[in-house]
């Protein structure tokens, strides 16, 4: 078996082979990302939609609580007016 020539060793270990290796790795990583990014984005969007729904429910509860509080305050104002009118007569 012949020993490898210095030119062949230089070509295998030189900048061109590093470039080919880097491009190959970038291509492989790109294919992997192209496969998984839509899955990750879809999962993120589903979690975001659940968060929005949860906030909508919280907002409805908050509005309902504020409405009840306002109704109670209106009733207390009427009660205070009745008391004030009875005291000032």
C-alpha 44/C-alpha 52 separation (Å) is: 12
Structure tokens at 26: 């970038």
Axis-axis angle for helices 6-13, 15-88 (nearest 10): 10
What total of structural domains would you count in the chain? 1
Range of the domain at 76: 6-88
In a domain, 79, yes or no: yes
Is 20's pLDDT higher than 50? Answer: yes
User: What are the tens digits of pLDDT across the range 45-56?
Assistant: 999 999 998 998
User: What are the tens digits of pLDDT across the range 54-85?
Assistant: 998 899 999 999 999 999 999 999 999 999 98
In a domain, 1, yes or no: no
């Amino acid at each position: 078996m012949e020993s490898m020539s210095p030119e062949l060793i230089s070509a295998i270990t030189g900048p061109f082979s590093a470039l080919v290796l880097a491009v190959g790795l970038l291509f492989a990583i790109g294919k992997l990302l192209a496969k998984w990014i839509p899955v990750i984005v879809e999962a993120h969007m589903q979690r975001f939609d659940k968060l929005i729904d949860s906030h909508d429910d919280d907002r409805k509860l908050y509005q309902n609580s504020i409405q009840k509080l306002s109704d109670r305050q209106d009733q207390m104002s009427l009660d205070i007016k009745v008391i004030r009118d009875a005291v000032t007569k």
